[in-house]
Structure 1
Amino acid sequence: MRRLLVAALLLFAAAAAGAWWWISHPLALRAERVEVSIEPGTTAREVARLWVDAGVAVPPEALYQWFRWSGQARRIRAGSYEIGTGTTPRDLLDKMVRGDEALEMLRLIDGWTFRQVRQAMADAPNLKQTIQALSDEQVARLLDLPGGVIEGHVFPDTYAYSRGVSDMTVLRRATAAMSRQLAGAWEARAQGLPLATPEAALVLASIVEKETGVAADRGRIAAVFLNRLKLGMPLQSDPTVIYGLGTRFDGNLRRTDLVADTPWNTYTRPGLPPTPIAMPGLASLQAVLRPEPSRALYFVARGDGSSVFSETLDDHNRAVNQFQKNPKR
């Protein structure tokens, strides 16, 4: 009996040593990289089968028993995961328990329109497409945005997302980010601004975003438009005209375009346009709500991205003559 007990103990020790060796050595893979997407509610046994089907060259039962024996099978998180050569069974389980997912990145640029956001999302790798057949108004309603307007309500930033998530999921994060940033900037706003609501600030910030060629000018550009609003002067912003033209704009803004009335043409209509014209970044939100002190009412581009600011029309006309009509002088 004693010999049988010793033999059994030796066999158990050998099995334990073999198991310890196995979980600490790299898994055999049928490709350099193996990817798996685990849906919520997937069992540990099903997870093991997913990895084997994807390219892990071991019996699925061996993986499952390791998950079960570790005591962490129920802690495996849903998500998208990727492993490469050198990954051990221990590494694999740790990755899924930590939720260390394989992520993609989507970069949304300051000054983009929602049409450009749509295109970036359509081109994004492993992003589930759900909005491409929907109108902007339909997307806005699904996101519970006020007034059914999504233009300008997406915050420009770089968003990491799990493979297989939907474009709407990323948009919810991006619109929530804009809501937070706008609320914070509005809370810290200067007194006496001619802006009655955060939405008005968002609209003006989108114009400032499109008008700013160099960051150093942003605060003064915001001041020009705020000064004009206070005096009841038209904003006369070319980017608003271009936005109103939509797909009709061919890259060349003509004098006839400036007098072609649209709801966004700030040459033909007073005050702010009805919606933002692009995604403003945080710097533009802050510039509009805490502008630089300035009495300037005009600005004109130098041609190098920067602008010349003027308080009087005569000074402005001289600047236009120097930098626009006679740029070589």
Structure 2
Amino acid sequence: MSNALTQYIGLFEQNHETVCANSAGKLNTLRDEALAQLRDAHLPDKNCEGFEKTSIDEMFSPDYGVNISRVNIPVDVAASFKCDVPSLSTLLGLVINDSFHPTSKLESKLPEGVFFGSLKRAASELPEIVNRYYGEIAPMGEASVALNTLLAQDGVLIYVPRGVKIQRPLQLVNIFSSPISLAAFRRLLIVLDEGAEMQLLVCDHTQDTANSYLGSQIAEVYVGAGARFEACSIEESSVNTSRYSRMFVRQERDSHFSFNSTTLTCGTTRNEFSIDLNGENAETHLAGMVIGSGNMHIDNDSAIRHLSPRCRSNQLFKYVLDD
């Protein structure tokens, strides 16, 4: 077992009750399975196929703090939030380190039946959705997924019921801010029922550059039959921020999934996309852009599996590098 996993397993075993007390529902019921998966596991390093450029074990090895007790860390959102996307009016939610915070009147502006909020809260209020999809798309047999499942206490659920088409884009802003170096285990669950439509913008920011941060980000996305989901992600963090982001997508028949990943500023970033085209005539468009300089390290990896006939996929990644 790697040293990185040893320290996080020890942290969980010493704080099992606290971790569960500050979470709920299926987030807690999967922890024992996650722990069992990690006993003889290791995070990928440069000796592993597909990770020749980026060691995940090395990324997770430093001694980061983890906010197990959910201490409130004040954040100056105005200082962090600088997504200058022109002519864009969104319905905005924030994740501060690894806790969801709704903005004023968010819920009142959402269409009826749509949920955009805390995964912990959803585990109690929408157990049928969380129980059906959480931990069912991302494979628990992979160490990074099991580790995130072990320690994630909150997260975000976006649920769009059957046939609902959200007119305004949703926006999720992830902010790192802490008086000490910090690791955050972030979880995102997105479920679009049959015929639903949604657009999403995700922005990653680091408020200060003094401390080091580690983001473990697992997204599970279900795009139902005939549903349409378009999303963009922009990372503008810091040279002291490391991020391991994994997105797992399951598409049903006649669905459309489009995702564009942009990295502007970071320390070390590894983005992975795993997309299953489960239903006939499903369509995927995956794109990425990097503007890198100095010692920034950006590694993108994708796997798109055509599991049904007459599916279509396109990929385009472009890099601009300086220094």
TM-score, normalised relative to structure 2: 0.22
Q: TM-score, normalised by structure 1?
A: 0.22
Give the structure with the higher percent helix: 1
Rg (Cα) greater in structure: 1
Which structure has the highest strand share of the two?
Answer: 2
